[in-house]
């Protein structure tokens, strides 16, 4: 788009803003506060003249990605998504929407640059999603200022550096997805130590290393996905009867521990341990897993002994057990001696 055209689009956006702001709210289905309308216009302008319709009278415009509080008129939720035409960086103007509770920037592949420090001013933010974008730089430690945050999804970006320890201080945070970036370093030991139950941690497809913090044995996880990293050591602390864990994916790391005495959480329905260096045997209790179980995969490890029989074992084929040191028995072709 030419500079001229973009300028026109921006001008038009600003004009519409002025018109809407000047007219009484009665006829407009979006009765947003004028300060917030101005902030939205600034955001739209920073995004290359995006979405002048935000300020028009169609509540469905731009996918209906704005919610204004019906009483105060303040913008509490903003979602911009699925638009490859939006360019630029995340503007500081976002911080002018001080009443925001949720901010979602999803599938905007042409936006780039770092996550701006201005985001830390959004003190009422409970959900921050910046995913499938070209955003780069670190996972900022200033996110530790967002004390109301419950869910942080920065997946599918180009973020580098370490996971900041400041996230561990967030008392309400119970969902983190940093998958598909280029993050390095170790998991901060106290992550989720203050969180309520049903925590979800998704760190797949990074370059993270080190071992699982011992502190994690006390966290009430429902989902953990650490697949495709370079983690090492013992992951057995994640297991245990009575835990609420439902999904555990540790595949494609270098975990190494004895699986024999591990106790499976009763609600586990997805267990992928493939491509590690896990040894010992498959606990007989696997056969007692829930019939809801969708995946059980221990292939490409160092396991030995008989594959358990009975229960749900009929659901799994040889591909769940292949390439181990000396596993035997059905569904594998080699019989136990």
Ligand X SMILES: *[C@@H]1O[C@H](CO)[C@@H](O)[C@H](O)[C@H]1NC(C)=O
Q: Which residue is nearest to ligand X (CB)?
A: 177
According to the 3-state scheme, what is the secondary structure of 68-110? ECCCCCCEEEEEEECCCCCCEECCHHHHHCCCCCEEEEEEEEE
Residues in touch with ligand X (CB under 6 A) = 83, 85, 98-99, 124, 131, 153, 155-156, 175, 177, 184, 186, 200, 202, 209-210, 223, 258, 260-261, 274-275, 279-280, 284-285, 288, 295, 297, 299-300, 319-320
How would you classify the pairing of strands 75-81 and 66-68? antiparallel
Least gap, CB of 157 to ligand X (angstroms) = 10
Q: Considering only CA atoms, which of 221, 275, 223, 279 is closest in space to residue 251?
A: 275
Least gap, CB of 146 to ligand X (angstroms) = 12
d(CA 236, CA 107): 36
For ligand X, the closer CB: 18 or 184: 184
For ligand X, the closer CB: 41 or 247: 247
Phi, psi (degrees; rounded to nearest 5) at 108: -125, 75
Least gap, CB of 100 to ligand X (angstroms) = 8
Q: What are the E-state strand segments in 142-243? A: 151-153, 158-161, 175-177, 182-183, 199-202, 209-210, 221-225, 230-233
Q: 195 is written with which tokens?
A: 């969180």
For ligand X, the closer CB: 17 or 275: 275
Q: What is the largest CA-CA distance in the chain?
A: 85
Least gap, CB of 11 to ligand X (angstroms) = 18
For ligand X, the closer CB: 112 or 124: 124
For ligand X, the closer CB: 18 or 288: 288
The neighbouring-strand residues paired with 328 are 306
Least gap, CB of 112 to ligand X (angstroms) = 17
d(CA 260, CA 299): 15
Least gap, CB of 36 to ligand X (angstroms) = 11
For ligand X, the closer CB: 193 or 302: 302
């Amino acid at each position: 788009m030419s500079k001229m055209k973009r300028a026109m689009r921006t001008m038009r956006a600003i004009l519409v803003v002025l018109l809407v702001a000047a007219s009484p709210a009665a006829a407009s289905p979006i009765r947003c506060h004028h300060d917030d309308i101005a902030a939205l216009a600034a955001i739209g302008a920073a995004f290359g003249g995006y979405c002048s319709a935000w300020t028009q009278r169609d509540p469905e415009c731009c996918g209906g990605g704005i919610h204004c509080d019906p009483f105060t008129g303040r913008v509490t939720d903003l979602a911009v998504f699925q638009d490859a035409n939006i360019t630029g960086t995340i503007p500081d103007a976002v911080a002018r929407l001080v009443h925001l509770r949720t901010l979602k920037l999803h599938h905007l592949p042409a936006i780039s640059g770092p996550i701006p420090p201005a985001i830390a001013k959004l003190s009422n933010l409970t959900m921050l999603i910046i995913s499938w974008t070209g955003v780069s730089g670190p996972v900022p430690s200033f996110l530790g200022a967002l004390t109301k945050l419950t869910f942080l999804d920065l997946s599918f970006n180009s973020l580098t550096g370490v996971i900041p320890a400041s996230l561990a201080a967030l008392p309400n945070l119970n969902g983190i997805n940093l998958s598909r970036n280029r993050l390095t370093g170790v998991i901060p030991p106290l992550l989720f130590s203050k969180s309520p139950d049903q925590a979800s941690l998704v760190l797949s497809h990074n370059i993270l290393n080190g071992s699982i913090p011992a502190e994690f044995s006390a966290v009430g996880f429902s989902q953990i996905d650490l697949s495709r990293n370079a983690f090492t050591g013992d992951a057995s602390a994640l297991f245990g009867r009575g835990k609420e864990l439902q999904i555990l994916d540790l595949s494609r790391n270098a975990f190494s521990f004895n699986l024999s005495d591990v106790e499976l959480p009763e609600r586990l329905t997805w267990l992928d341990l493939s491509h590690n260096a896990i040894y010992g045997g498959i606990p007989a209790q696997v056969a007692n897993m829930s019939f809801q179980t969708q995946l059980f995969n221990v292939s490409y490890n160092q396991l030995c002994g008989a594959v358990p029989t009975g229960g749900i074992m009929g659901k799994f084929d040889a591909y769940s057990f292949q390439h181990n040191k000396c596993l035997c028995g059905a569904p594998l072709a080699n019989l136990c001696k």
